[in-house]
Structure 1
């Protein structure tokens, strides 16, 4: 983690956004490609996120991808990413892309949109 002046956020060496103390929540915006719609993928993702303790949402996109926005500690978001890339996801995941940022206004729970 790289500290940033005046409490701003900066990418670490892996390109991940981190607060200066590593204990601030982060937001991971994730896009999942493959056969991931109409297979229970959003429900499964929500269940994993709630088990981990994340807030946010998951939604189908018009191009067949699923978007996941998760907020929590960096390590917790990484756990969700590992699950999304793992062998137990419903359907067939062919790719996962994420970007990291500071949290926004926050979410109440983790919902399916």
Structure 2
């Protein structure tokens, strides 16, 4: 049985204005991951996500690639204990 984890991710490169947030939401929903994604003022995208370890591993790999329209040049990942804070995965504006 997979344990649950939480991840805080920041992604840099060409990741705003290219559908990255919608991509992240679609993949998270498909994998049963909860949390949020949002643009940061400095041009990066922030993701806070929670889910089963196996699903989170797949999600993280997809986020590293991004949608075809994005170019990910930096990826920072910090994991921590699961908090059960979210009911679904949302885009924050």
TM-score of the pair, normalised by structure 2 = 0.89
What SS is found at the alignment partner of 1:34?
Answer: strand
Query: What number of residue pairs does the alignment pair up?
Result: 92
Max Rg structure: 1
Q: Give the Cα separation in 2 of the matches to 1:109 and 1:43.
A: 14
Q: Give the Cα separation in 1 of the matches to 2:68 and 2:76.
A: 15
Kindly indicate whether the alpha-carbon contact (under 8 Å) linking 2:50 and 2:84 is maintained by their aligned counterparts in 1. Answer: no
Runs (4+) of structure 1 exceeding 2 A deviation are 86-90
* Structure possessing the higher relative contact order (Cα contacts under 8 Å, 6 or more residues apart): 2
TM-score of the pair, normalised by structure 1 = 0.74
Give the superposed CA RMSD: 1.5
- 2:52 aligned with 1:42, yes or no? no
Q: Give the Cα separation in 1 of the matches to 2:41 and 2:29.
A: 25
Q: Pick the structure with more strand per residue.
A: 2
Could you tell me how far 1:89 is from its partner in structure 2? Answer: 4.5
CA distances 1:75-100 after superposition (whole Å, capped 9, x unpaired) = 21111111112264432111211000
The aligned counterpart of 1:51 is 30
Could you tell me which runs of 5 or more consecutive residues in structure 1 were left unpaired when the two chains were aligned: 1-21
Could you tell me which runs of 5 or more consecutive residues in structure 2 were left unpaired when the two chains were aligned: none
Q: In the TM superposition, what are the counterparts of 1:98-113 in structure 2 within 5 Å?
A: 98-113=77-92
CA distance change for structure 1 residues 89 and 58 in 2, over 3 Å: closer, same or farther?
farther
Q: More displaced, 98-107 or 64-73?
A: 98-107
